[in-house]
Structure 1
Amino acid sequence: MFNAWLVSSALIGYILGSLPFGYLVARAHGVDIFKAGSGNPGATNVKRVLGAKAGNTVLVLDMIKGAIATGWPLLPMVVAPRPMVLALIGVVAAVIGHSFSVFTKFRGGKGVATAAGGLVVLMPLACGIAGATWVVVFYAFRYVSLASILAAVAIVAAGWLLPYHVAISVIASVLGGFVILRHHENIKRLLNGTENKFAKKPPAQG
């Protein structure tokens, strides 16, 4: 019986994670996001290509799908055995789905927003620390990739330093490591000094 719950949690998480909101929002604007900007369907590239409104929409939707995939087993009306295990399976499956979406020929983003949406359900304080890290690093250096990488490091560290269940800390470490690995090309460019900064818009004339 519990195996059926595990499979259901994994499938629900993967399908939710696979929903390609970056691709769909860009398509609604007549753009194939896989052929625009960096070619990544994540919120950052959508924002670069289509502007803040579209990018922020994708960011919120990607976080929501991670939160739903993680949170549904924990709802009081869902009488599931070992709901925390199901939640952990759900967040991992959602991040995998986002990064390797069945709807876009297994192409996808780096999983930052989806992982954040899921982990905030499980470890809100740690996510707050990671979010603050992201904001400070981004506004100091204007590199989204560097901010995301260091936020991933922060979530891993906070997961072990704060009093969370070891299973949650392990999953946070796995997801943090996965996010960092998905940024391997960005890391190369950061080291080479060729990574693109997220430029500030020039002030309006007039």
Structure 2
Amino acid sequence: MEFLSTVLILIIAYFVGAIPFGYIVGKHIKKIDITKHGSGNIGTTNAFRILGAGPASLVLLGDFLKGFFPTLYAMYMGEVGVAILVGLVTIVGHNWSIFMKFKGGRGVATGAGVVMALVPKVIIIAFFFWLAIVLITKYVSLASIVGAFLVPMLMIYFKEPLLITAFGTAAAIFVIYRHIPNIKRLLAGNELKIK
């Protein structure tokens, strides 16, 4: 892939990743600014708490697909390295959206979309663990942290290429780092649960 084409794809990937589905769904369906409620986060977890399951499902789908499709396109072009860069840039776009004054979510759903495009079986297994933890504990943050941790572990188990495993490891560290405030609340016993 030519250098200019790669740069263009990465720029497009950032703007796709930056689409604030949580904010858009909150404004158009519930007529509220989600950034002024709950944790103030535009991601799926806060959307579930503030908007309810139906609108939050739209947020989840939107955030997932904006990670999935750009990465899948780059994979289709036959460039694994570029696909990984595209995935990283979409996550960066979600976490630091230009449309939200460089604020955003935690990157879990968007990161899951990226991994789905790269290694579907890994994210499917991680999702079932995520879902089980949510159903048992009602802590989405805890489920997201465990799910993020499982991604590179599963990549190692399935002997995925080093480049993809390195991406999975970096993405997991990034997601867990973004959840430090949640980890502190979990340890203190005052993390919010979902209904």
User: 1:104-132 CA distances to partner (integer Å, 9 max, x unpaired)?
Assistant: 10010000000001110111111112111
Is the Cα contact below 8 Å between 2:131 and 2:143 reproduced in 1? yes
The alignment status of 1:99 with 2:100, answered yes or no, reads no
- Cα displacement (A) at 1:7: 1.3
Which residue number corresponds to residue 139 of structure 2?
Answer: 143
- Structure 2's unaligned 5+ residue stretches are none
In structure 2, distance between residues paired with 1:13 and 1:172: 18
Which residue number corresponds to residue 118 of structure 1?
Answer: 114
Which residue number corresponds to residue 191 of structure 1?
Answer: 187
Is the Cα contact below 8 Å between 2:17 and 2:67 reproduced in 1? yes
- Cα displacement (A) at 1:74: 2.7
Matched pairs, number: 194
Is the Cα contact below 8 Å between 1:13 and 1:92 reproduced in 2? no
In structure 1, distance between residues paired with 2:106 and 2:177: 9
User: 1:120-156 CA distances to partner (integer Å, 9 max, x unpaired)?
Assistant: 0111111112111101211221110000000000101
Which residue number corresponds to residue 56 of structure 1?
Answer: 57
In structure 1, distance between residues paired with 2:80 and 2:31: 41
Which residue number corresponds to residue 66 of structure 2?
Answer: 65
Deviating above 4 A after TM superposition, structure 1's stretches of 4 or more consecutive aligned residues are none
- Cα displacement (A) at 1:8: 2.1
Which residue number corresponds to residue 42 of structure 2?
Answer: 41
Q: TM-score, normalised by structure 1?
A: 0.90
AA at the equivalent of 2:62: L
Q: Tell me the percent identity.
A: 38
- Cα displacement (A) at 1:93: 0.2
3-state SS of paired residue (1:7): helix
In structure 1, distance between residues paired with 2:23 and 2:171: 23
Larger radius of gyration: 1
Which residue number corresponds to residue 204 of structure 1?
Answer: none
Kindly report the root-mean-square deviation, in angstroms, between the aligned alpha carbons of the 2 structures.
1.2
Which residue number corresponds to residue 203 of structure 1?
Answer: none
- Cα displacement (A) at 1:198: 1.4
Is the Cα contact below 8 Å between 2:48 and 2:194 reproduced in 1? no
The alignment status of 1:26 with 2:10, answered yes or no, reads no
Is the Cα contact below 8 Å between 1:9 and 1:86 reproduced in 2? no
The alignment status of 1:8 with 2:8, answered yes or no, reads yes
AA at the equivalent of 2:49: R
In structure 2, distance between residues paired with 1:96 and 1:14: 7
Is the Cα contact below 8 Å between 1:17 and 1:94 reproduced in 2? yes
3-state SS of paired residue (1:27): helix
Is the Cα contact below 8 Å between 1:13 and 1:69 reproduced in 2? yes
User: 1:29-69 CA distances to partner (integer Å, 9 max, x unpaired)?
Assistant: 21111101111101121121111110000000110110112
> Comparing both structures, which one devotes a greater share of its residues to helix?
2
The alignment status of 1:161 with 2:162, answered yes or no, reads no
In structure 2, distance between residues paired with 1:186 and 1:130: 20
3-state SS of paired residue (2:48): helix
- Structure 1's unaligned 5+ residue stretches are 200-206
